[in-house]
Amino acid sequence: MAVRSIIVIAVSLYFLAGCASTSTPRGTTPEALLLEGDEYSGQKKYEDAILRWKKAKEMVTAPDIVALADLKIADALFADEKYIEAAAEYENFRKLHPSHESIPYVVYRLGYCYFNEIAGIDTEQTPVKNAVAMFETFLRQYPSSADADKVREKLAVSRDKQLQYEIYVGRFYFRTGKYPSAIKRLEEALVSFPKSDFHDETLFYLGQAYLAQGEKKKGGETLTRLLHDYPSSKLAGKAKKLLRKG
């Protein structure tokens, strides 16, 4: 074969190898594929990493390797900020490996998946409810965990967001003249979230709703409670004006 032809073939093979998709697994054993996936994950090439771990799962039935691959897949999706998909994988891990030593970690990560999905108070509230439920589950089952304090902080934030949504709905009812609905919603918020820095707003709209419905005594008592419990509230001045009006 002519030297020139050999060079052309060699160059062509070089470029073909260089352009080959990294999505093609090279490992021939589950262990090799797991390591290969780790390499891609370290480079933040999460899709390529997941492909390797899924391939490793297909090659074995050993529970420890399957569980490890499942957890790596969930973690990669979390790192890639694909929280809905990550939550689904963590939930699947709980079902498939209920006695695995990583379950506390999985419950912890599930709570964070839902927490990271939380948007504004005028949007779908399911992520908030799920975050609260999962953080409460974690603290109930693993109260002495090293992560317990962090979870308590996130749980408090999540509950505040739930309260803010209840205030948002109560305020809407008040502004649209549906005073009984506003009162019911805001009273329930006071009971469901007994300790919160946001209850000055709850009390303010509840007091106004009582007054608008003609219940002056309850309205006055509610606004007075606002001034007593939250003297430095930005709503204190408005509450005083309403009280002076009677």
Average model confidence (pLDDT) across the chain: 89
CA 222 remoteness from chain centre = 34
What's the CA angle centered on 47, arms 38 and 106, to 5 degrees? 65
* pLDDT tens digits, one per residue of 39-75: 999 999 999 999 999 999 999 888 999 999 999 999 9
Percent of the chain with pLDDT over 70: 89
Does pLDDT of 111 surpass 90?
yes
Does pLDDT of 240 surpass 80?
yes
In a domain, 166, yes or no: no
pLDDT for the residue 246: 67
As a whole number of angstroms, the distance between CA 55 and CA 51 comes to 6
In a domain, 65, yes or no: yes
- Please name the residues in contact with 92: beta carbons below 8 A apart, sequence gap of 6 or more: 70, 74
Count how many Cα atoms sit within 13 Å of the Cα of residue 99 in the half-sphere of its side chain.
2
In a domain, 100, yes or no: no
> Where does the pLDDT of residue 9 fall: very low under 50, low under 70, confident under 90, or very high at 90 and above?
very low
Does pLDDT of 173 surpass 80?
yes
As a whole number of angstroms, the distance between CA 47 and CA 45 comes to 6
In a domain, 116, yes or no: no
pLDDT for the residue 21: 43
In a domain, 175, yes or no: no
* pLDDT tens digits, one per residue of 183-219: 999 999 999 998 889 999 999 999 999 999 999 999 9
CA 67 remoteness from chain centre = 23
pLDDT for the residue 22: 53
Q: Are 55 and 61 in contact (CB under 8 A)?
A: no
In a domain, 47, yes or no: yes
> Where does the pLDDT of residue 25 fall: very low under 50, low under 70, confident under 90, or very high at 90 and above?
low
Does pLDDT of 4 surpass 80?
no
Helix axes 199-212, 236-245, angle to 10 degrees: 20
Q: Are 16 and 42 in contact (CB under 8 A)?
A: no
- CA end-to-end distance (rounded Å), the chain: 105
* pLDDT tens digits, one per residue of 123-165: 889 999 999 999 999 999 999 999 999 999 999 999 999 999 9
CA 233 remoteness from chain centre = 30
In a domain, 40, yes or no: yes
As a whole number of angstroms, the distance between CA 49 and CA 62 comes to 20
Q: Are 125 and 165 in contact (CB under 8 A)?
A: yes
Instruction: Considering only residues 246 and 154, tell me which one the structure prediction assigns the higher pLDDT.
Output: 154
Residue with tokens 């003609």: 214
pLDDT for the residue 18: 38
Can you give the C-alpha Rg of the chain in angstroms? 28
Exposure b/e, 71-109, CB count within 10 A at least 16 = b? bbbbbbbbebeebebbbebbeebeeebeebebbebbbbb
Q: How many CB atoms lie within 10 A of CB 7?
A: 10
> Where does the pLDDT of residue 15 fall: very low under 50, low under 70, confident under 90, or very high at 90 and above?
very low
As a whole number of angstroms, the distance between CA 50 and CA 73 comes to 6
Q: How many domains does the chain have?
A: 1
pLDDT for the residue 24: 61
Helix axes 199-212, 216-229, angle to 10 degrees: 160
- Domain range for 40 is 28-82
Residue with tokens 């090439």: 45
Does pLDDT of 87 surpass 80?
yes
As a whole number of angstroms, the distance between CA 89 and CA 110 comes to 9
Q: Are 172 and 139 in contact (CB under 8 A)?
A: no
In a domain, 137, yes or no: no
